[in-house]
Structure 1
């Protein structure tokens, strides 16, 4: 099976506050051939590579992807001698690899997996066994998110990425499309940022689904579908709507799913509930002085209180000398928040 060059190639681009924001579909169009080429060279399913890129880089919108061309969240480790990028992750000021181009990030991702013994078992799986690869990556410690495998599988099945695992070659014309037609591609690499001015001649339409076309360029300005609220401890949050998923919310606010899980201290759960609070910024270490005490209006756990108040659970456990965050606290009990 070959990838055929699509004539009249059209890519929609979202621009918010003067910055380009890419959708999952755009990301796939941009990088599917690179993922297939890496699969043919290094025997890593293209679906897995694409899903990891979407998840780790928030469709190429994350700060790490934009400023360091790192689409897979690969940290420096001792053997890395290249450029670096520092940002907070599981701990403060962690060292991440930085690349000249995003394509280099794809190559290094393949070398990273194929060159480490802990991932060796994955290469015994079939290229079409994306579920086995997803679970194997989580088991081998690629990410700390307990739902990492589930999230990869969800992305692959939602966008039918496993179709690319069956390809046996990459059409060279399509592979070099972004080089020959830069005005038709939403280029994510720093080296190609000079092409962004091609959007100036395109029609612009506001709205979630509307789009206008001019000279094969389409720009859609998407307005956030969620209202951003701030709680009494000054933490930003949104309220879950019907049809929301972790991936959809993360993409809307240009976050990775790992960030979303970290900010909300999510435990293992698959479905968001309508009306639920989801924080889009880190919780506070303690409440503001005016909110020092919390009086339980019903029976609930310390985990629920921490989420309601936007305060980190571990901090509340230490302040209140509680070892089990799921222990039910009776109605009327006062809980110290700072």
Structure 2
């Protein structure tokens, strides 16, 4: 009898697991394009967005998701002007946001993280570093569940959601089309004729991360643009849905630097080291450490550390610098 009960329970667990797996796969198929599109608009990894959606909404089957299209369990909070629904959660009768369509929930989730100070530090992580994002969300107070990060990571790895973090967005320029140089020691040449500055929508929330109206280039697998006439670091940050401080950090800058037309401006965090196979650099006349770091798409801080240099250290023509460990 005990063996029969154990077998029955095992079959029930298997059936439940298969049903859950089917729901998860269907959910991913339905919302993966939205998550990738939001990744390009906001800078939040698609894997994190999908994993949160799956976990918070029970793969779209929770009462909150079905009745209110709220897939991320976002509460009303102060200043919310949209629809409302009341649901028992940490307390009885809590106010949750209500949406007309699930896609609105995805967009609001992106904006919720993007424009709240307590989540700002998350955007310093690489877009492919889903583990840091998962633990960062818990640290910022997104969820009270102590095992929240592990649950997100388990979902991401079980369903290979991290593959969506490098997938091009439909409706956004394919990053594979970004022009490389063919020689990773040199940056791609800028356009022979710099176009007029594209007008940026007053609301940065309506602009995709990588603008369709200009050529996006790549060095060391890091996206960058060439500055156009009349642009500033602030306007480029706004048009790529970045904070100004983020953009300046990406380019190892601070203060209020002047932007000259044709300047390389990275719109993603640079890599720690130069590309594989690029071990050394011989300093050319007039080069600075920052200029070299921009050339290879690597971080200035790492370049200094690799070569035992301080902020005030000077380099001379003919010096040999390490680019990798």
TM-score by length of 2: 0.46
Task: Name the structure where strand makes up a greater proportion of residues.
Answer: 1
TM-score by length of 1: 0.44
